[in-house]
Amino acid sequence: MDVAAALAAHLGELAGLEVYQRSITSDRGALLFLGREGRERRLAVMSPEPDERFDGEQSDVTVERHRLRLRRCPTDASNAAALRKALPCFAPRPLGLEPSIGCGDRLGLATPGHVRAVRRHSMAPILAQQSVRELERTGRTPVEVLDAATWGALLEGWRNGFGADADHLKTTGDVDRFVDAGFSFFTVDPGDQVDDEADDASEAALRDKVAALPWDALDASESSLGERYLGRRFDLEHEALELDEETLWRAAAKYGRAVAHTAALHRHLDSRMGDRPFELEMSVDETARPTSALDHLFVASELERLGVRWVSLAPRFIGDFEKGVDYRGDLVALEDSFARHAAIARVLGPYKISLHSGSDKFSVYPIAARHAGELVHVKTAGTSYLEALRVIARVEPELFREILAFALAHFDGDRATYHISGRKDRVPAPGETPDAELRAVLEQDDGRQVLHVTFGSVLTEKDGDGFRFRDRLLGALQECENEHSTALEAHFERHLAPFDARGGTDQ
């Protein structure tokens, strides 16, 4: 047994816990560590004098004839906040222009697996990431999302910092909830303000759309916009772009309201955050029409003119970025388009290009790594939930069958807000699939998408006074937490390796 393992075992005997070895840390003469008692996790604090920073039951222990105070604390919101205050490395921070990956966690158990993968690669992690839509569908709160990431980072001893992404924000109320919780990264989604019809509108309809733009909010006019763009060349490393009159008005009609909405939410966020540093991303990925290079040029130029500070932008790329499966489309055309978007981000920024619905886009990662370099952010979400179900299919096959049958029954309703092509009639019937073949459902695109989009229904379905699936699902994963984390580590290895700038780091 090495020294660290021996220390963990000794602390475990003193505290009555199964101690997570990597969690042991010191602060102000106290030892802090995380341990497990049955399925419950506890924070333990051992110090010469009572440590009043944390709430918990206190007792005395003797170590080599020295009396120490031991406080065993619940891993609740109060103690998570106290930990972030005492040890800022476990609190979210801005990541700047570091290449980064967003690790969505719909169950609150995935962070240890995410950290295991991240520490061996070069991308900085956003360990707390949840959209407003996901909160509504899981019944979680922003504080719960952040707390799960905090305890997971401590468990794995991740002290290199992480971000917390309030994803797909549409209103000031959305912003306020995440500001109050302590998030550091805010993704504004003005997709509802994007006018996709502008791409094909007739000349008369286009002029009406431009005339109706919120010019006051844009602090501009039709004439001033023309003066700013028409007749101007924008040099983008290997080419120059120009907006003629028709292209300018189509870009303005399509994205003008989205720019104004983003600027308004940025001003609100700036006023709410005060002296706290934060980062903003603009996302227009969930729209019907792709974002052209000239559209991107217009949006970035207008955001800059309006004083918006942003760290990343998520365009709507060509082809299909469907949930839970690889890219569908022409990779050659995507590479040409992506190269232009990346060049705009370097020249007008620098800022990062963000891949939304980035889970499992294994054919796209080499393209992004080649053309964006380190100016890239990859956002994942449901893929971690699917890996959890893969584990469940092995350790609790009957539970997996129940979840799959329920998902198939609820798929038609739950798919409504997602752009996917999965079909439930191509998914194997749960009752007819042998145990050994259940995990193969998660190798099939249709099965992945059926399970991906029904997560909210599965996690919130009630059965009497409790939940039908949630408690059993979480309990089974807690019983095999190391297997769960190992599966996530292997899965995220595939996401991270293509972006390595310097190979594994094993931090």
User: Could you list the active site residues?
Assistant: 167, 281
Tokens of 331: 């990779």
DSSP assigned state of 320: B
Question: Residue 503 — left, alpha, or beta (φ > 0 → left; ψ -120 to 50 → alpha)?
Answer: left
Closest alpha carbon to 298 in 229, 217, 389, 359? 229
> Omega into 498 within 30° of 0, i.e. cis?
no
- Cα separation of 99 and 94, whole Å? 12
- Cα separation of 410 and 34, whole Å? 39
Tokens of 225: 């916009």
Beta bridge partners of 239: 236
- Cα separation of 495 and 365, whole Å? 8
Phi and psi angles of residue 399, each rounded to the nearest 5 degrees, phi first: -65, -40
Helix (H) or strand (E) holding 239: strand 239-241
- Cα separation of 417 and 382, whole Å? 14
- Cα separation of 97 and 501, whole Å? 14
Phi and psi angles of residue 175, each rounded to the nearest 5 degrees, phi first: -60, -45
- Cα separation of 142 and 138, whole Å? 11
Q: Say whether 380 sits in a helix, a strand or coil.
A: strand
Closest alpha carbon to 51 in 19, 75, 23, 26? 26
Closest alpha carbon to 345 in 294, 286, 297? 297
Q: By the 8 A CB rule, do 61 and 46 touch?
A: yes
Q: By the 8 A CB rule, do 281 and 272 touch?
A: no
Closest alpha carbon to 103 in 91, 113, 94, 95? 113
Q: By the 8 A CB rule, do 119 and 505 touch?
A: yes
- Cα separation of 24 and 34, whole Å? 7
∠359-362-363 over CA atoms, to 5°? 130
Q: By the 8 A CB rule, do 474 and 109 touch?
A: yes
Closest alpha carbon to 408 in 459, 438, 447? 447
